[in-house]
Each structure stands twice: as C-alpha cells, then as structure tokens.
Structure 1
Amino acid sequence: MSPSSSEQKTHVWLRDEDRSTERRTALTPKNAQKLIENGFAVTVEKSSKRVCPNADYEAVGCTLAEPRSWVNAPKETVILGLKELAETPERLPHRMIHFAHIYKDQTGWEKEMARFVNGEGLLYDIEFLTNENGRRVAAFGYWAGWMGAALGAFRLLERRAGRNEITKGVSPFESQEVIIEQLKALAAEVDGDLPTAIVIGAKGRSGTGASQCLEAIGMKVTKWDIEETRLLDRKALLSHDLMVNCVLMFGPGLLLANKTHLADAECNMKVISDVSCDPFSDFNPLPIYDAPTSWEEPVIEVARNGAGDAVEVTSIDNLPSLLPAQAAEEFSDQFITSLLKFDEGIEWQNAKAKFEQIRKRADL
C-alpha cells in the first residue's frame, strides 16, 4: 500500500559502482518497481557495466541519472550500492547502504569512518544488516562460495592437465552450467582419481555453495565447520589438494595455515581459494598473502609444498560478479523485504548500532 501524499517518501538512489569489474546490483528492475509501488522514489544512475540494462529501470518508473551524480543528491537521499566507494568525496553526508569492509580492522578503516562522521552521514553496512537472531537478511555467500570453489578447482585441474589458462585472467561466465561443463571436461583430460578438496565453514551459505560446486564435478569433499576447527588437525587439513576457506572471522582465534605450515614436508596442498578474502584484517586465518587477487591476475604463488609443488592462492573479493545475473537476482530478491521497511526494521537498527559502535571505537 502506498503512503498518503502527506507522508514523506523515501528516495533511494542506486549508484553506479566505482569498481570497474562490479556488474552486480542490490536492486533489480523488478524490485525497483516494488519500491515505487510502495511509495518510494527511485533514481538509478546509468551504468555501462551493470548486468541489468538502464532501459529496464526506466521502464518500471525509475528516474535515470548520470554516474556518480549521487554526490550532489539532496542530503535526505538514501544512496544504495554494493561495494566500497572511491576515495572522493572526502565527506559523506548521506545515509549509505553498501558493503564497506571497514568493521574488522581492515587497512584504512578509521579514515573511511571519518568520511561519514565528518560529513554527518551514516553507513548501513549490508554485512551487518541482521535480524533478531543475528542472521544476515541478504547475502551473496552462496554464490561467492560456489564461484570461489569453481576457480580453485579450475586452477587445480588445469595444472593436473598441464595447462595454464586461468592465470591469464577471468571474466564473467554465462551460467553455472557452462562452468560445470568446462570443469568436467578438464577433469576428463587426465585418467585416475580426481584431486581431493576440503571446505572450511562448510555449514554456512558460502560453504554450502562451495561444496555443491565441487561435488557437481565429482570431487571428493571433506567438510569442516566449527567442530572440526576448534581443535585443528592441520596435518589432515594440508593433506588435501585444494582448500576452500569460507570462514568469516569477527575476532582472533583461528589460524588455518601460514607459509611455514605450507612448506612442511607432509603438506600436499596445491591450491587455496580464500572465499572470505580478508587479507587486511588482523583476524585473517590465512596470513599467506597481503592483498586480494584480481580478474586480471586471479592466482598467485605463495609457497612450495612438501613435494616442491607450487601452493597458489586465488582470493578475488567480488566473486559473485563472475556470475552477475544469477547472483544479483537472488540477492535483490532477499534484500527487497528489508528495503521496503527502511529504516524501521530491526536490521536497520542493528546496522546503525554497529556504525555507532565503530565510530566510538575510532574516537570520532
């Protein structure tokens, strides 16, 4: 039901992503239409990379605007995006919704918080939009895990087949089915058993996606979660060929492996896909690399294992953008329920409380 004309409509402004490889969106045209039907005003910045065409937003009643014109939007406008912002403007006066990656001591977190505080704005970090049970209301976790496992398996299987293609770069795939076909074809190039894999955090969204991807191509998957990592059997962990880490750390306490462990004589590990991808955090359970990998350079060597084979890491921090259409549609369908309640739902209260907690910690 739409609000009466006397009520102030919330104006949601979907910004173009600053990151050139980010093709996903938090708001599809279908769900933008739901906002409009419920009394919201919706502006959408034109984008040449967003997976949803500009014309589809215009067709459902959105107002189109130029990229980055949000910086001049009225202060009461709510700015919606996905990934972190460019370094300008220095002051952020709006209420903003996106994944900022600054709440776990990541490099530059205090500077980023200062942009909001000095501009008198507010960040609703999507990662901390949680319900009364502490569960996130919307997440890309399944797709991140699925795609991270796919890239790890791709690199491992092509090495097994004597190939070296993925190191030349990656770009978005058409569908899950296409990826599975490619992986099965790679696996079939070499006779014998497939390499072994272990998924850490297997019970979560990301871990579920990772396990299902690997099992779809016929790999044997060991699944570990809190119970198995509480008293870590590192020898068993490193006996696998592939590790997919899906553990999201909010504090210290878990070390999966460092470079010394990887160099141990009994280590068999060859490829690590770090889906959680938090190298800038003090809580990183894989302190073996210092920056995410990229679409241009998706894999880096970090060590040599006990047999002298390379141990490589893939750690792309926007994995679901490699399957942008499927990932965006599922996320937006999860997220629209919360957007329709902005900013009164418990998830918005929780995200605001988290912002205030971090602001006080930064002494701002």
Structure 2
Amino acid sequence: MSTQKAHIWLRDEDRSTERRTALTPKNARILIEQGFDLTVERSDKRAFPDKDYEKVGCTLADPRSWVDAPSDTVVLGLKELAETPSELPHRMIHFAHIYKDQTGWEKEMARFVNGGGLLYDIEFLVGEDGRRVAAFGYWAGWMGAALGVHRLLERRAGKNIITNGVSPFESQSDIIDKLKALADEVDGPMPNAIVVGAKGRSGTGASECLEAVGLPVTKWDMEETRILNRTALLSHDLLVNCVLMTGPGLLLANQTHLSAPQSRMKVISDVSCDPFSDFNPLPLYKAPTSWTDPVIKVGKNSEGDDVEVTSIDNLPSLLPAQAAEEFSDQFLAPLMRFPDGVEWKNAELKFHEIRQKAGL
C-alpha cells in the first residue's frame, strides 16, 4: 500500500465551454491537509477563481503545463484531452469516453500505451457494489430536461430563443422561473413528458426539473422498457432519455418511428448522448449538438410537426458551480484513497482490459 501521498495536478480544461472542475477550492484544502501536493493550472473559464485555490495552499501553474510535469504526477481533469501530445506518460483522471467503442477509441488508447501512461476513467471508478463513486448524472438529467422543455414551451409560444445558442445560467431557481414564465404565455393544458431511465441519477434530476415546472411526467425504467410500447412512448410531447447503454438491446425510436400513427413527439432531449456508439437507443442524429447550435431537426411526427433533438454532452456546465460543488464533494473521499482504493484498482483493470481489446 502507498504511504506517500500523490502530487495531483488539476489541469485547465481543453474544451472552451467546460467551466466545471473535479476539485473545488474547499476540497483542495482538505487534500492538502491530508498530505497531498496540489498544483492547479490557471484558468479563465473555471467556475472558481484561481486566487481561491492559491489561498488554500495550491501552487498555480500555466494552462497545459501538465504536459511537462514530472512523470509521477497525477493529472486530474474532467473532459477529454486535445489531440496533442501524441504520447501520454502520466497517470490521468478524467472522462475519456473511449471504452464503449466510440469513434477514435483505439487511437486514444494508443496515446497512453505508447507514452507509458495510465487512464483512470471517472465513468469506471466503481466501488465494491459496482456503483460509480462520483457522477454528474443528476445535473445532466436536470439540465437536459430544462433545455428540452424550454424548446417545447417556446415553440408553443411561437418563439425561437435557444436556437440562437445557450450559455451558463446563474442558478437552478433562475431557470425554473424562466420556464414557468414561458409556460404562462400560452393558455391551456401543459404539454406532457416521459423520462426513460427514471430511477437513475439522471432520470431523477430530469423528473424533478419537469415536475418543478409543472409538466405531467411519465416515468419509465427497466421494467417498462423490457417490452417496449413505442406507441405510448411517442404519444408524449417531450422525451428525456437517461438510459446509459453498455450493450445492445434497446431501440427507443428511429427515423421511421417518428412519423408513425399517433406519434405526437416534438422534442427529444437525449441526456445520455452517445451518438457514436453502436448501442445508441436513439439513432436519429450523428453527433452531439452544441452550445451554439443546441437543437437539430430530425423528422416530423404524425401531425406534421417538426421533431427536434437536443443532445449536449456537457450539460452540467450550464450550471457549472452548482454541479461542480456536488461532484467534488462526492469525489473527495475516493481521491483521498488514491491509488489504493478499490475504485482505483477497478479503473486500472478496466484500462488494461480495453488496452488488450485494442491489441496494444
């Protein structure tokens, strides 16, 4: 078992829209008190200012200086890396999105293998019970539902607001107030929604958002999708998909299904957002939508209305501080067990399993 605490290097995110972080200043202070060395790259987009990290004892460094950090440094981030450097010699912690045959997964694995590094993919940090030790799922579901219902309600009111792009919101309550005001612009019953994967973290967040706005919500999980009633599914105005697929077995809807008789679906928020996977239960689009173009048209329903998809792959960054605080609080205990905790051993085993699968 390791006795010396690791040197953790919190990197600036390569993605320009990523304002979240895996480690808040509050929890950085706790790690330092426990004997960890912490270097934090300066960032002009992170939801927490550099000075707050410096104040608790972190050493500040320039963005992307992790590339030249000593090889025993542990590089911590959230989202995937830029394409350079071509070889990765460090132990790295982040969501890589390469373990489910996503486009380019073999090339990304080769960067670690050729550099002698190791990836601890946060999605596969699981405890003895097989559950992830930390996740943004709740906020992904909540924000995905918020964007979906926003588009649905603005269409009902004859508006096009989020089609011009989205940016981070001040708070959860601010979003709810805006959605309620949009709903009040039109008399009559509220549109209805269905959340698939409702019992998980994302599904819980999605359901709570929709209920807070006042939409009638149908909640489906494994029992309801085992034998899928697609007609019932598509009879809703809004679908929020929160199903995390790790293998074949579930097709919610394809292009043909959207225009089937009794289909009144208008907006689909695909929180799970896995268009590059062979297991995607919504093969309606080929790439995630974005902050600048959050909604795309994918077909028409049986009534001739457009069916649109929103599928942004870093939804919690639209509420960056709130999402990061909750995640960092979940992640603190596992970080304190690095590298000997069961979650780290499980993640390392997963890395070697995928490396062998790639023939590297």
TM-score range, shorter chain: over 0.9
- 1:261-276 matches, cutoff 5 A: 261-276=257-272
Matched, 1:328 2:324: yes
Q: Could you report, residue by residue, the CA deviation over 1:167-202 in whole angstroms, capped at 9, with x for unpaired residues?
A: 000000000100000000011111111001000000
Shift of 1:266: 1.9
Matched, 1:72 2:55: no
For 2:5 and 2:178, how far apart are their aligned partners in 1? 48
Counterpart of 1:111 (choices 107, 110, 128) is 107
For 2:299 and 2:292, how far apart are their aligned partners in 1? 21
Shift of 1:264: 1.4
For 1:330 and 1:9, how far apart are their aligned partners in 2? 24
**Where in structure 1 are there 5+ consecutive unaligned residues?**
1-5
Matched, 1:182 2:181: no
Shift of 1:7: 5.5
SS of aligned partner of 2:142: helix
**Where in structure 2 are there 5+ consecutive unaligned residues?**
none
- 1:76 counterpart letter in structure 2: D
Shift of 1:242: 0.1
- 1:86 counterpart letter in structure 2: A
- 1:328 counterpart letter in structure 2: A
Shift of 1:300: 0.4
1:347 is matched with: 343
Shift of 1:263: 1.8
- 1:252-331 matches, cutoff 5 A: 252-331=248-327
- 1:342 counterpart letter in structure 2: F
Number of corresponding residues? 359
Counterpart of 1:170 (choices 166, 172, 179) is 166
For 1:273 and 1:8, how far apart are their aligned partners in 2? 45
- 1:10 counterpart letter in structure 2: A
1:218 is matched with: 214
Moved segments of 4+, more than 2 Å:
6-9
For 1:59 and 1:315, how far apart are their aligned partners in 2? 38
- 1:186-197 matches, cutoff 5 A: 186-197=182-193
- 1:104 counterpart letter in structure 2: K
For 2:128 and 2:3, how far apart are their aligned partners in 1? 28
1:86 is matched with: 82
Question: What TM-score does the superposition give when structure 2 sets the normalisation length?
Answer: 0.99
Question: What TM-score does the superposition give when structure 1 sets the normalisation length?
Answer: 0.98
Percent identity of equivalent pairs: 77
For 1:269 and 1:302, how far apart are their aligned partners in 2? 11
For 2:25 and 2:213, how far apart are their aligned partners in 1? 34
Counterpart of 1:19 (choices 15, 20, 23) is 15
Counterpart of 2:41 (choices 32, 37, 45) is 45
SS of aligned partner of 1:223: strand
Shift of 1:346: 0.5
Q: CA RMSD in A?
A: 0.8
For 1:193 and 1:92, how far apart are their aligned partners in 2? 55
For 2:248 and 2:148, how far apart are their aligned partners in 1? 26
1:249 is matched with: 245
For 1:330 and 1:7, how far apart are their aligned partners in 2? 28
For 1:176 and 1:344, how far apart are their aligned partners in 2? 37
- 1:321 counterpart letter in structure 2: S
- 1:345 counterpart letter in structure 2: G
SS of aligned partner of 1:276: coil
SS of aligned partner of 2:225: helix
Counterpart of 1:63 (choices 53, 56, 59) is 59
- 2:105 counterpart letter in structure 1: W
- 2:298 counterpart letter in structure 1: V
1:126 is matched with: 122
1:35 is matched with: 31
Q: Could you report, residue by residue, the CA deviation over 1:192-243 in whole angstroms, capped at 9, with x for unpaired residues?
A: 1100100000000000000000000110000000000000000000000000
For 2:62 and 2:103, how far apart are their aligned partners in 1? 31
For 2:260 and 2:159, how far apart are their aligned partners in 1? 26
- 1:330 counterpart letter in structure 2: E
1:3 is matched with: none
SS of aligned partner of 2:346: helix
